[in-house]
């Protein structure tokens, strides 16, 4: 085997230009496939990373009426019961769920003010003690909520950066008072998303998909929610999973558990809990990328097919050129299997070198595409190994016919041929 490999290298080196032109189809095909696969993997990885950034592996289960979110401004939904401890425990026990939080939510709340300053279209949430941890938030000034805040119904709030800037421009809001629908609340802390979970925004579509707090958010203990809104309301749920890949399954299971609290009619406007559609949006983006790039992969495969035909052609020429050599070897006792293996080795080495050069060209091409279009790329070691193995396989498949032709030559006829 080692001798066959040495002969193969010598043969390739003796006809450098011919060998390079033979490899060119394989180089172009492998380079195209590496670039396309790297772009697919890079885009999908960015989507998954952004899902982490959008909530630290979190998926939200919210109350819907039909296909749209239920708005509490229209009144309490009929047939929806409060979250029980049994429901909480069932969701905590879902496989790969690390944290669970329940909270009340109102979008575009009027009456978030401090003196004459108003937080326009802000969001108010009544949260439990796990909300910040589950969503990947950190307190960067002041303190978070403590147990006594819930037990003694203390009217305290946390503000995000946008709400703090709008209500307390140029001031330290800690210890100051703001109003929520006429009720005074004391600001005890400021929160923001941990940098480890910030999504990468590279397009307007990314912005609309992953940006989640455009107008400022105010958090209060959920125990204080009825003080402001006069009655208990159905809670939403957020579950954090150990891996991004578990989000869809965990969200679906949690929604099924939450729906045990719902006793509504089964028509198109019925009320039910559903997992947020960010997962479906990401999945559609991945499917669109994959379907588009699959077409490109087929085009790149044509280049590999052409390269394989070129290899078969040049190996047939090589057999013709070395007919006398083959006849002499067979006359000296070389077996058919030895001749077959020699030419198969030469064909495999030729395409393997082309595959290695194609991988290098593919990596360079991927970086060029990334630089010019801004598309993320991710080159994995398995893809590189697969590229080399595939190129070697091409050499074996397309080199089989010339190798069999060489092995089946009659030694007498071969020696007579000039």
Q: Which residues of 147-178 are buried (b: 16+ CB within 10 A; e: fewer)?
A: eebeeeebbbbbbbbbbbebbbeeeebbeeeb
Record the tokens describing residue 217, joined without a space. Answer: 């958010």
Q: For 158-179, what is the mean pLDDT? A: 94
**Which residue blocks in 322-380 are alpha helix, DSSP H?**
323-331, 336-373
Query: Is the Cα torsion angle 45, 48, 53, 57 positive or negative in sign?
Result: negative
What residues does each domain of the chain span?
Answer: 2-49+284-416, 101-240
Residue 55 has pLDDT above 50, yes or no: no
- Nearest 5 degrees, angle CA 72-CA 74-CA 78? 75
Using DSSP's 3-state secondary structure scheme, residue 133 falls into: helix
The pLDDT of residue 104: 92
User: How many helical (H) and strand (E) elements, i.e. helices and strands, does the chain have?
Assistant: 14, 13
Give the residues across from 184 on adjacent strands: 179
Q: In the Cβ-directed half-sphere of 259, how many Cα atoms lie within 13 Å? A: 17
Record the tokens describing residue 245, joined without a space. Answer: 């890949």
Using DSSP's 3-state secondary structure scheme, residue 364 falls into: helix
**Per-residue pLDDT reduced to its tens digit, 200-238:** 555 545 555 555 545 799 999 999 999 998 777 889 999
User: In this structure, what are the phi and psi dihedrals at residue 86, rounded to the nearest 5 degrees?
Assistant: -65, -40
Record the tokens describing residue 358, joined without a space. Answer: 């194609």
Residue 11 has pLDDT above 50, yes or no: yes
Record the tokens describing residue 393, joined without a space. Answer: 């396989």
Query: Is the Cα torsion angle 326, 332, 334, 336 positive or negative in sign?
Result: positive
The pLDDT of residue 281: 59
Using DSSP's 3-state secondary structure scheme, residue 378 falls into: coil
Q: Is residue 41 within 8 Å of 217, Cβ to Cβ?
A: no
Residue 74, classified by CB atoms within 10 Å of its CB into exposed (0-12), middle (13-18) or buried (19+), is exposed
The pLDDT of residue 223: 93
**Per-residue pLDDT reduced to its tens digit, 400-410:** 777 777 777 66
Residue 198 has pLDDT above 60, yes or no: no
User: CA 237 to CA 280: how far, in whole Å?
Assistant: 18
Q: How many CB atoms lie within 10 A of CB 225?
A: 22
Residue 54's pLDDT band (cuts 50, 70, 90)? very low
* Most distant pair of Cα atoms in the chain: their distance: 108
**Among the listed residues 153, 61, 67, 69, the one whose alpha carbon sits nearest the alpha carbon of residue 108:** 69
The pLDDT of residue 133: 87
**Per-residue pLDDT reduced to its tens digit, 82-141:** 888 899 999 999 998 989 999 999 888 888 999 899 998 899 999 999 999 888 889 999
User: CA 358 to CA 354: how far, in whole Å?
Assistant: 6
Residues 6+ apart with CB under 8 A from 234: 63, 76, 77, 80, 82, 83, 261
């Amino acid at each position: 085997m080692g001798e066959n490999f040495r002969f193969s290298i010598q043969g390739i080196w003796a006809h450098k230009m011919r060998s390079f032109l033979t490899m060119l189809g394989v180089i172009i095909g492998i380079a195209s496939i590496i670039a396309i696969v790297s772009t697919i993997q890079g885009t999908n990885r960015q989507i998954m990373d952004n899902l982490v950034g959008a909530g630290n592996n979190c998926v939200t289960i919210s109350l819907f009426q039909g296909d749209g979110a239920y708005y509490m401004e229209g009144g309490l939904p009929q047939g929806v019961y409060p979250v029980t401890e049994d429901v909480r425990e069932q969701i905590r026990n879902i496989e790969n769920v690390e944290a669970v939080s329940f909270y009340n939510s109102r979008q575009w709340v009027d009456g978030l003010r401090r003196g004459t300053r108003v937080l326009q279209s802000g969001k108010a949430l009544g949260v439990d003690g796990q909300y910040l941890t589950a969503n990947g938030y950190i307190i960067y000034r002041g303190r978070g909520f403590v147990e006594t805040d819930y037990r003694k119904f203390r009217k305290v709030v946390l503000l995000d950066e946008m709400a703090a800037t709008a209500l307390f421009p140029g001031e330290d809001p800690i210890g100051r008072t703001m109003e929520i629908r006429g009720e005074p609340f004391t600001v005890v802390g400021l929160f923001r998303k941990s940098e480890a979970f910030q999504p990468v925004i590279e397009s307007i579509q990314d912005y609309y998909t992953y940006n989640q707090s455009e107008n400022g958010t105010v958090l209060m203990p959920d125990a204080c929610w009825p003080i402001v809104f006069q009655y208990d309301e159905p809670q939403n749920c957020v579950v954090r999973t150990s891996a991004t890949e578990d989000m869809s399954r965990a969200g679906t299971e949690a929604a099924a558990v939450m729906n045990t609290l719902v006793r509504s009619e089964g028509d198109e406007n019925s009320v039910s809990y559903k997992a947020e559609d960010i997962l479906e949006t990401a999945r559609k983006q991945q499917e669109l990328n994959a379907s588009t790039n699959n077409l490109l992969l087929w085009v790149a495969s044509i280049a590999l097919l052409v390269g394989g035909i070129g290899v078969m052609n040049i190996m047939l020429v090589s057999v013709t050129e070395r007919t006398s050599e083959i006849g002499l070897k067979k006359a000296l006792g070389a077996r058919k299997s030895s001749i077959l293996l020699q030419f198969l080795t030469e064909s495999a080495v030729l395409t393997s070198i082309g595959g290695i050069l194609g991988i290098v060209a593919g990596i360079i091409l991927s970086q060029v595409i990334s630089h010019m279009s801004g598309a993320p790329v991710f080159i994995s070691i398995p893809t590189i190994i697969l590229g080399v193995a595939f190129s070697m396989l091409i050499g074996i498949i397309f080199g089989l016919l010339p190798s069999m032709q060489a092995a089946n030559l009659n030694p007498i006829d071969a020696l007579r041929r000039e």
